[in-house]
Structure 1
Amino acid sequence: MGHILLSATAGSLDLREPAAGCCLPPRMIDLEFRYTQALAQDYLLHVLQVPQCETSPSKASKVLQDMALSVQEEVERRLKPWLDRIDVESIDTAKSIFNQVMEKEFEDGIINWGRIVTIFAFGGVILKKLPREPIAPDVDTYKEISYFVAEFIMSRMGGWIRQNGGWDNGFVRKFEPKSGWLTFVGVMGQLCEMLSLLKQFY
């Protein structure tokens, strides 16, 4: 097993090397996957403005909702002419577009929390492009999107997330108020990258 290489940028990992923690017990990996999927589901329900009555979201979920929605709104504002021209008629099309753009964004092998936020934001963009049912809007659709969002994240950066404190420690601390604005500037830098990638594909 190769060694993990950290870049000069704090909190970045070269994806081209095997990630530590890949030999965790299957149950632990499954719990991490389900937690990440729950974060994605919370965020997508937030995008749809669906009240979440059962339990209050975790701190990580609330922070993610604030940051990812800001990124998503900026994507939608800057790319409105492009987004108006594309049709996402099925969940298969949504997954194909999502995977193409995300694979391109991460082909340099570098991970950081800002880039991870853009994954959720783009999931929200894709969700809003899908047709909506008038009676029960997106009841199953948001769950399917949350699955492939979590699948992409955990298959490529699960080890990095563990090494960097996880969602409740690493992610939340990164976006604490004292450093939130600086971090947000970094996220918006990642957004500019994603905008150029979208224009290449569609």
Structure 2
Amino acid sequence: MMKRVDLDHIDDGVSFVRSVAENTFKDGVTNWGRIATLVAFGATLSEHMKGAGRPECVETVANEISSYLAIQKYDWLFNNNGWHGFVNFFHVDDPEVAVRNTLMVFAGLAGLGAGLAFLIR
């Protein structure tokens, strides 16, 4: 997604972020992978904007993504138990696989949490 965006010619409103979010879900399919992808895009974009001397855009990116998810994907998130649903989605009864998946989910959630924290800063 980052390669498709002409980052040198975007305005401070970064309104294109909403278009990216809409395109991510334009086929009507919502899943945890797409949500994580959108958040990761926001974190990567924010990192670029901050490095380009435009840290004021970071909060705007965070607001665009969180508003989109909170409004457009609220029902899906609610029906899928929010972030608890994310953890449960990867649950496996096999103890060996469960330990590995738990570590992967924990690492993923830590990454998402860090991404969201980075977006908010």
> TM-score, normalised on structure 1?
0.39
* Separation in structure 1 between the aligned mates of residue 32 and residue 48 of structure 2, nearest angstrom: 25
Query: What residue is the counterpart of 1:95 in the other structure?
Result: 15
Over 6 Å off, 4+ runs: none
Q: Determine whether 1:143 maps to 2:59.
A: yes
Counterparts of residues 2-81 of structure 1 (less than 5 Å): 79=3
In the alignment, which of 118, 125, 133 is matched to residue 37 of structure 2?
A: 118
Distance 2:11 2:47 in 1: 12
Q: Contact 1:119–1:149 at 8 Å: present in 2 too?
A: yes
Give the equivalent residue in structure 1 for 2:89. 174
Q: How many pairs align? A: 96
Structure 1: stretches of 5+ with no match in the other structure: 1-74, 185-202
Alignment of 1:127 with 2:12, yes or no, is no
Which is greater in Rg?
Answer: 1
Query: Could you tell me how far 1:180 is from its partner in structure 2?
Result: 3.8
For residues 88 and 150 of structure 1, do their structure 2 counterparts lie closer, same or farther at Cα, with a shift above 3 Å needed? farther
CA contact (8 A) 2:42 2:61 kept: yes
More helix by share: 2
Q: Secondary structure at the match of 1:124?
A: helix
Distance 2:69 2:23 in 1: 14
Structure 1 Cα separation of the partners of residues 40 and 9 of structure 2:
16
Percent identity, aligned pairs only? 24
Aligned alpha-carbon RMSD (Å) = 3.1
Aligned mates of 2:25, 2:15 — CA distance in 1: 16
Please state whether the residue corresponding to 1:91 is helix, strand or coil.
Answer: coil
Change (3 A) 1:141 1:86: closer
Shift of the alpha carbon at 1:147? 0.8
- In 1, Cα distance between equivalents of 2:60 and 2:66: 10
Question: CA shift at 1:89, angstroms?
Answer: 4.5
Q: Please report the TM-score for the alignment, with normalisation by the length of structure 2.
A: 0.61
